[in-house]
Structures are given as C-alpha cells and as structure tokens.
Structure 1
C-alpha cells in the first residue's frame, strides 16, 4: 500500500502528476463523449471553471506557474496500449465492446486542445473552447488539478510527522464511515469522487478501503483508471451537460421543450437499451417527468442530484405508478452531497419502495474537514460547466435554485418553457 504521507512529503519528485492518464476521469464522460462524437461532431462548445465557493481565493492559493505546468502535462497525455485494450475489450454493464472502433481510433490519437487561463482578482478564469467531444474531456482533469493544487498549498507547509498524523486521522475517518455502513441491509454504493478528490492517491486509497470494508455492497468506481488498476466495475451513465447543450442548440421554444427528451432518444439508440438511467433535474424534475413520453417510464431508474432527495424520489415513485410501472422494480440513485447519515437515512426511508443505490462523491474522497488549522483543507464547491454551444448560452435550472446557472433572461425563459415555479433553496454542500 502506498505511503501517501511520504509521497506528499517528497512533493518535489516528478512521480505524482495530479492527472496521470486520459482515463483518470469519470466513466460517464467517456460514454457521453462517444455519443457526442456520433451525434453532434461539429458542435462548438465552451467550458468554463466556476468557483461557487467564492470565499476560497484560488488565485491567491495556487501559483499560476504550477497550474500551467499541471495543465500542460494533461495536454501531453494519450492513451496507453493497455488502456486502449481495456476500453476496447472489457465488459461494461454486461456489454462487450461498449466503445465502437471508430470512436476508439479517434480517442487513441487524441491530445486535449489548448486552454485559456487568466487571473481575475482572487480567482482564475479557465476556459476551453472547441469541438464538443474534445473540450468536454477537460472537465474532470481541470477540476482535479485545481482541487489538488489548493490542497498541496496547505500540505507544503507541513512537516513529515504532521503529515503522517494528518493522513492517519483522515484514514481513520474513512474507515469509521465504512464501518458505519456495514450494517445497512442490501447496500449498493459506488465511488463518485473523482472531480473534487483530495488527490489521485487518496481516491485510490478510499476505493480500496470501500472494497475491502464493504465487500459486495461496494459496486465500483466512476474513475476509469482506478477501475482498471483495481479490477473493479467502472460506474456511470450521463450528466447535465447533454441536455444543457442540446437545449442551447434549440431554435425556438418548442424545440427547447423537446430537447431533454431528444438527448435520451439519442442515448437509447447509442447504447441499444443499456444504461437507461434518467437524470431529470436539469430543468426541474417534476416538469420533466410530467411531460415525459410514455416510453421513458420503461427505463431502469433515475439519478437524484439536486434539491431535496426525498421529494425527488417520491415524485419519481408517483410518476412510475401513474404510468403503470412498479416502483419496486425501479432504481433510484442518490448522488448529491452524500455522507454516512444521509446515506443511512435515505436507505431507511426508501427500502422496499424502490431499488436504492448511492454514488458517494466528495465527502468520501475529500473529507479533511477540521483536520488542519483554519479548516484549510475543507472541500469546496468547484465545477467546470459547458457555458455556451455554437455561440448560444447554456442554462441549468436544477431542483435547487442555488445551483442554477446561465444569463438571467435565459433562466427566466427556461423557467417559463419548462413550467418551473417556486423552488426551495438547499445549501450546496460540495
């Protein structure tokens, strides 16, 4: 097992780049990338870094030279032969050759496109512009780089024994969380923590702890590199990015209202009926389900990623019943701001009503809260989102208005088109 504290102490060694592979990313990004490569190959998209936690002054904490060095390293990466073989030949979700030969040939030759970095006050402006299927692959590594560099700023000022104690305490915290979940009956939980992890080595350690401590209840990791390395299932389906860009491409309000369902039609065709998980909250869960075509009710389940999770799950249960479906045969995946108590409470509330799964993110792979003075390693809310498509701004409403993004006039328009009324604001944990 890697001695993480010693590796951090020897931080000047060049053995630990923050991102070490093009598949050191979330599985859903590759699944979406293939769909976009096929269906929207000429769409031009801009991604931008958004620090929701403005109290964290990234430009003060992170040296611009170090940031550029790490981003330039990401641009130098390409698929190794072993990584290509794993993607081409492995079985994902029971399907062999999930990734088509034409997509793999393109991916094997890919180097990520240029980035634009500029300091704006206490924050960095970091953007990526180009063909959608190319620039989208910047999202996860960009977030991982910013999160870890902020952490390294704190760790660089610590002595060797201080680091050993810090990681011992953090490991104990993770293991106590694992132990607290062992008695949850029929638990199904995966690691979703790549984008805002403490570091690659720490995420890898957390995955090993989950795998050993929870056994069959641990279903895998969203991180492709770790899934390959540890011979685990790669977990993931799709994200808000798809409906946000499809909606931005809509020519009028009628096309806009149809865009979220166009996404899932393309997804269904791409995956031949597999990976049928709905992410309904981009423009409001209730409105999405109320206006959904009947064929969507036959899909496997939904992922709940914003707003009050109990409300969203109950809306889905009522929707399935109204469409003649048995909710106990459907899966609800909870993935927003999870920690042990929330996982246990949600499981207790919905056991027997639906099949329950959890995608555990930042508070698995980056929970150093209270472990250093000033809470300087506490996780914070950093995202990298598609902000325009073919020159049109993107919009996300969410079930939590504090996660909404886009120009105000377009937010108003989208709320009208999708019938979004009053929403309850929830704290954005991470």
Structure 2
C-alpha cells in the first residue's frame, strides 16, 4: 500500500503530475462522449469553471504557474496501448465492445484542446471551447487538478509526522463509516468521488478500503483508471450535460420542451439494461415525469441528484405505479451530497420498495473536515459546466434552485416552458 503521507511530503520538492492518464476520468464521460461523437460531433461547446463556494478564493491559494503546468501536462497525454486495449476489449455492464471502433480511433488520436485561464476577484476563470466531443473531456481533470492543488497548498507547510497523523485520522474516519454501512442489508454502493477528491492517491486508497470493508456490496468506481488497476466495475451512465446542450440548440419552445426526451431517445438506441437510467432533475423532476413518454417508464431506474432525495424517490415510485410498472423491479440511485447518516436513512426508507443504490462522492473521497487548522481542507462545491452551445447559453434549473445556472432571462424562460413553480432552496453541501 502506498505511503500517502510520504508522497504528499515529497510533493514539496518537485512537480508531481496530478493527472497521469486520460482515463483518470469518470466512466459516464466516455459513454456520453461516444454518444456525442455519433450524434453531435460538430457542435461547439464552451465549458467554464464555477466555484459555488465563493469564500474559497482559489486564485489566492493556488499558484497560477503551477496550475498552468498541471493543465499543460494533461494536454500532452494520450491513451496508452494498455488503456486502449482495456476500453476496446473489457466487458462493461455485461456488454463486450461497449466502445465502437470509430470512436476508439478518435479517442486514440485525441489530445485535449487549449484552455483559457485568467484571474478575477480572487478566483480563476478557466474555460474550454471547441468541438463538443473534445472539450467535454476537460471537465473531470480540470476539477481534480484544482481540488488537489488546493489540498497541496494547505498541506505544504506540514512536516512528516503531522502528515502521518493527519492521514491516520482520515483513514480511521473513513473506516468507521465503512463499518457503519456494513449493517445495511442488500447494500449497493459505488465510488462517485473523482471530480472533488482530495487527491488521486486518496481516492485509490478509499476504493481499496471499500473493497476490503464491504466486499460485494461495493459495486465499483466511476473512475476508469482505478477500475482498470483494481480490476473492478467502472460505473456511470449519463449526466446533465446532455440535456443542457441539446436544450440550448432548440430553435423554439416546443423543441426546448422535447429536448430532454430526445436526448434519451438517442441514448436508448445505444444502451440497454442498467445503462438506461433517467436523470430527471435538469429542468425539474416533477415536470419531467409529468411529460415523459410512456417508453421511458420501462427504463431500469432513475438517479436522484438534487433537491430532497426522499421527495424525488417518492415521485419516481408514484410515476412508475401510475404507468403500470412495479417499483420493486426498479433501481433508484442516490448521488447528491451523501454521507453515512443520509445513506443509512435513505436505505431504511426505501429498501424493499425499490432496488436502492448509492453513488458516494465527495464525502467518501474528500472528508478531511476538522482535521487541520481553520478547517482548511473542508470540501467545497466546485463544478465545471457546459455554459454555451453554438453560441447559445445553456441552462440548468435543478430541483434545488441553489444549483441553477444560466442567464436570468433564460432561466425565467426555461421555468415557463418546463412549468417549474416555486422551489425550496437547499444548502449545497458539495
């Protein structure tokens, strides 16, 4: 097992690349990239960094030269032969050759495009613009780089023994969480923590701890590189990015209203089984379910990613019942702001009513709260979103208005088109 504290201590003496592989990314990005490569390869998209935690002044914590060096390193990466062989030949979700030869040829040639970086009011403005299948693959490495550089900045002045004690405490905390989860019957839980992890080494350690502590109840990781190295399942389906960009490209209100379902129609042509998971909250779960075509009710399940998770799951159960489907046969994946207490409460409420699963993110791979002075390693909410498509702004409403993105006038239009009424603001945990 890697001595994480020693590796962190040695970061002081030389630049250690944070991202060492193009598959150090989430599996859903590659699945979506293949769909986009097939259906929208010429769409120009802009991604932008959004720090929801404005009190974390990243441009004052992270050296610009070091950030540029890490970003430039990623631009020089390409798939290795072993990584390409794994993607081409491995079985994912029970399917061999998940990735088509033409897409793999594209991925093997790919080098990530240029970025634009500047400082403003204590924050970094980091943007990526270009062909959608290319720039979309910047999202995860950009977030991981910024999160880990922030961790390194906070840890820079710590000595060897202090670092050893810090990581011993963090390991103990995580193991206690794992022990608390062991009592849950039929638990299904995966690592979704790549984008806001403390570091790659820590995420890898957390995954190994989950493997040993939970056995078959740990279903896999969203991180492709760790999945490959640890010989476990790569987990992921689709994300808000798809309906956001498709909606931005809609020419009128009717096309806008259809966009979230058109995206899933494309997805259904490519995937079946556990990859047919609905993410209904991009423009409000209630409106999405009310207007959903009948064929969507036959899909495997839903992922609840914003708002009150209990309300989202109850809405899905009612919807399935109204459409003549048995909720006990359906999968509900909870993935928003999870920690042990919330996981236990949700499992107890829904176990036996649906097939319950959890995508555990930041508080699995980055829970150092209270372990350093001034709580300097507490996780915070940093995202990288598609903000424009072919020059048109994108919008995300979410079931939590605190997560809404887009120009105010477009947000108002989307709320009208999708029938979104009064929403209850909720604290964005991570």
- CA positional deviation for 1:271: 2.1
Instruction: Identify unmatched segments of 5+ residues in structure 1.
Output: none
Partner Cα separation in structure 2 for residue 178 and residue 208 of structure 1 = 12
Aligned to 1:134: 134
- How far the C-alpha of 1:15 sits from its partner, in A, is 7.6
Q: Deviations over 1:123-147 (max 9, x none)?
A: 0000000000000000000000000
Partner of 1:216: 216
Is 1:242 aligned to residue 242 of structure 2? yes
- Superposition map of 1:172-321 within 5 A: 172-271=172-271, 275-321=275-321
2:157 maps to 1:157:
yes
Asked if the contact 2:79/2:108 (under 8 Å) is kept, the reply is: yes
2:239 is paired with a residue whose SS is coil
Q: Determine if contact 2:49/2:125 at 8 Å carries over to the other structure.
A: yes
1:349 aligns with 2:352: no
Kindly report which structure 2 residues correspond to 1:71-150, keeping only aligned pairs within 5 A, or say none. 71-150=71-150
Deviations 1:63-112 (A, max 9, x none): 00000000000101100000000000000000000000000001001000
Quote the offset at 1:13 in angstroms: 5.4
1:333-372 matches, within 5 Å, as 333-372=333-372
Partner of 1:52: 52
Superposition map of 1:323-342 within 5 A: 323-342=323-342
* Residue in structure 2 matched with residue 394 of structure 1 by the alignment: 394
Deviation at 1:121, TM superposition (A): 1.6
**What residue number does 1:169 align with?**
169
What is the match of residue 419 of structure 1? 419
Deviates more, 1:10-19 or 1:290-299: 10-19
Q: Deviations over 1:8-46 (max 9, x none)?
A: 111145584111100000000000000000000100000
Give secondary structure in 1 for the equivalent of 2:275.
coil
TM-score normalised to the size of structure 2?
0.99
User: Residue 222 of structure 2 contacts residue 234 of structure 2 at CA under 8 Å; is this kept in 1?
Assistant: yes
Aligned residues: 430
**What secondary structure does 1:158 align onto?**
coil
Aligned counterparts of 1:352 and 1:325: Cα–Cα separation in 2: 15
C-alpha distance in structure 1 between counterparts of 2:67 and 2:16, whole Å: 14
State whether residues 268 and 274 of structure 1, in contact with CA within 8 Å, keep that contact through their aligned partners in structure 2.
no
Question: Counterpart of 1:8?
Answer: 8
Q: Deviations over 1:171-216 (max 9, x none)?
A: 0000000001001000000000000000000000000000000001
RMSD: 0.8
Query: Judging changes above 3 Å, is the alpha-carbon distance between structure 1 residues 175 and 119 closer, same or farther for their aligned structure 2 residues?
Result: same
**Alignment check: 8 A CA contact 2:144 2:197 kept:** yes
- Tell me by how many angstroms 1:351 deviates: 0.9
In structure 1, the partner of 2:37 is 37
Structure 2 runs not aligned, ≥5 long: none
Call closer, same or farther: CA 1:356–1:156 in 2, change over 3 Å.
same
* In 1: Cα distance, 2:272 partner to 2:33 partner: 16
**Native 8 Å contact 2:403 2:428 kept in 1:** yes
CA offsets per residue over residues 279-298 of structure 1, 9 Å max, x none?
00000001000000000000
Q: Are 2:211 and 2:218, in contact at CA under 8 Å, matched by a contact in 1?
A: yes
